[in-house]
Structure formats: C-alpha cells, structure tokens
Amino acid sequence: DIQMTQSPSSVSASVGDRVTITCRASQGIGSWLAWYQQKPGKAPKLLIYAASSLQSGVPSRFSGSGSGTDFTLTISSLQPEDFATYYCQQAQSFPPWTFGQGTKVEIK
C-alpha cells in the first residue's frame, strides 16, 4: 500500500499568516492527490483534487501543488474559519486509498 506522510503534524499560526503543509507519498502517484479540511464534529470536506484543482465553492486562498511524490497545500492568508485539521489522500484509480495522518492548524 502507498503510505502518505504529512508534515508538520501541527502548526500554530495567526490570522493573515501564510501556511504551508506538505504531503509525501511512498511511491509516485502522478497528480492523484486530494486535500480535505475537517473541523471538530464534522465530516471531512474536499478542498483540492488532482493535486491543484480547487473544488467548487472553496476560497481561492487555498491552493495545491506538486506531482509524483511531493505535494503542498498552501493557505495564502489564514482566516478564522480555516483553523481545522487537514488531510491529504492519494486517489489513484485503484484502492486502497490512503490518507496522511493529518495536520492540525491551531491559533497562535
């Protein structure tokens, strides 16, 4: 199975900060990478698919990049509603589809 490793596991940031989260796959996955946001008590929400495509309705301050094994989620200017946990997921055509362990974005 493909292992997904996120870093950091948590980050403290202030409103307005630029935040970058990285995700590394144990083998190449092309651009088959998705990012999700999860708030406490809620289901994950799809933010980015195909490594860099913004899901409909997601603010443009979120962006994704990368291909192969190394990927990045960037929040260009952190807003109060962005404090949450973020997960990457490899989404190649065949299961199992594995997730990173999550990155918690906390208020500084």
CB 60 → another protein: shortest distance, Å?
18
CB 108 → another protein: shortest distance, Å?
24
Nearer to another protein, 17 or 45 (CB): 45
Nearer to another protein, 78 or 100 (CB): 100
Q: What is the DSSP letter of 56?
A: T
User: What is the residue-wise DSSP string for 57-98?
Assistant: T--TTEEEEEETTEEEEEESS--GGG-SEEEEEE--SSS---
CB 101 → another protein: shortest distance, Å?
5
For residues 30 and 17, give the distance between their C-alpha atoms in angstroms, rounded to a whole number: 29
- Which positions lie near another protein, rule CB under 8 A? 34, 36, 42-46, 49, 55, 87, 89, 91, 93, 95-102
CB 41 → another protein: shortest distance, Å?
9
Distances, alpha carbon 64 to alpha carbons 30, 89, 100, in Å: 14, 13, 15
DSSP H stretches of helix in 5-101: none
Nearer to another protein, 16 or 94 (CB): 94
